[in-house]
Structure 1
Amino acid sequence: MPLYDYECSHCDSIVSALRPMARRHDPSTCPDCETGTLSLKITAPRSLQFKDGPRRALTPQQALAGPDVRGPGTRAGTRNSVLHNCAGAACAVCAA
C-alpha cells in the first residue's frame, strides 16, 4: 500500500498516511488541528524498509546508499558524499 503525504488546509501541517491507491483522494480531517481538511501533495517517491518493523521512509539517496552509511557528508558540517553534493561557499547545508 502506498504512503501518501497530505497538507492541512487550516494549519498547513504535513501528514503521511498509508492508503490504497483507489482511496488516496478520499476526504479526511487533519489529526493535528481537527478542523482542516487534508489535500494530497505531490512528492518524490520513497521506500519503506522493514526489518523488525516499519521504519521511517528513506529519501532516494538514502535508499541507494544504505541505512548505515559512514563517511564524508554523513555528519553535520562535512562536505561531499552520496547524501550531499556540496556547492562550496554558496552551500546552504554546510553554511548552516
Structure 2
Amino acid sequence: MPLYDIRCRHCDGIFERLITLQALHGETACPYCKAMTAAAPMLTGGHVGLQVRHRWQPRNGAEQLAGQGATGPGTHAGAGRSSVLHNCKGHSCSICAT
C-alpha cells in the first residue's frame, strides 16, 4: 500500500495516509477536523539524491568576487589587482593595465 500526502478540503490540513489503489479517490477521514475528505493525492516532488562529483574552484580573484565566468577588467593574468568591481575610464588604470 503506497503512502500519499492528502490535503483536507475543509481545514486545509495536510496529512499522510496509506491508501490502496482501489480506495484512492474515495473518502477518508481527516485526522485534524475529523471530516470526510477526498482521498486524492497531492502532487509533491519525490526524493531526489544528488551526488557532487566536481566542486567549482575560482581560477582568479575576480571569479572569487564575481562568480564563475567573470569577464572584464582585472580578470586577465597580468592584472595588477584582481577586482572586477571598479569604475575606471581606461586611462592609466592599474587594474586594466592600459
TM-score by length of 2: 0.42
Higher helix proportion: 1
Query: Larger Rg: 1 or 2?
Result: 2
TM-score by length of 1: 0.42
